[in-house]
Amino acid sequence: MDKLILRLVRKFQTRDPFVIASGLGIHIRYADLGHETRGFYYKKLRRRFIVIHERLPDDWQRFVCAHELGHDRLHPGFSRFWLDEQSFVNVGKYERQANKFAVRLLTSGDTIGRSESIGELLQRNGVPKEMDKFYF
């Protein structure tokens, strides 16, 4: 996973998931997805889409984009919904991997400073604090 992230960051000269997704030809869409869905990834007629809940704060939109990008890169052929109840209660293997991918992408090239917590590193990089368990 780390080599994949490094290749993406080098190729696109950024760790911004929106720029990377666009560069990979993935279309980003925003919609009101209701109370429990933050985003999802799907393919239709060989076109790839990431749909993000339009009412999420910016840091969560960025994280969801990175998470769904993780599904595209790590789980080709799957279309997965990221539901709050699955992501925070009973996280499946694919969801854990996508969360880990997102955290690693968004913190790529940055390290924990002396006397700094993981939470501070994540905050500095715009990663929601609830995702600290996916840092390692």
Neighbours of 100 (CB within 10 A): 19
- Euclidean distance between CA atoms 133 and 8, whole angstroms: 23
Q: What domains appear along the chain, each with residue ranges and CATH number?
A: 2-127 (1.10.10)
Would you give per-residue pLDDT tens digits along the chain (136 residues)?
889 999 999 999 999 999 999 999 999 999 998 888 899 888 888 899 999 999 999 999 999 999 999 999 988 766 554 444 444 434 478 888 999 999 999 999 888 888 888 888 998 899 998 888 888 7
3-state secondary structure of 120: helix
- 7: Cβ contacts below 8 Å, ≥ 6 apart: none
Q: Are 91 and 83 in contact (CB under 8 A)?
A: no
This model's pTM is above 0.75:
yes
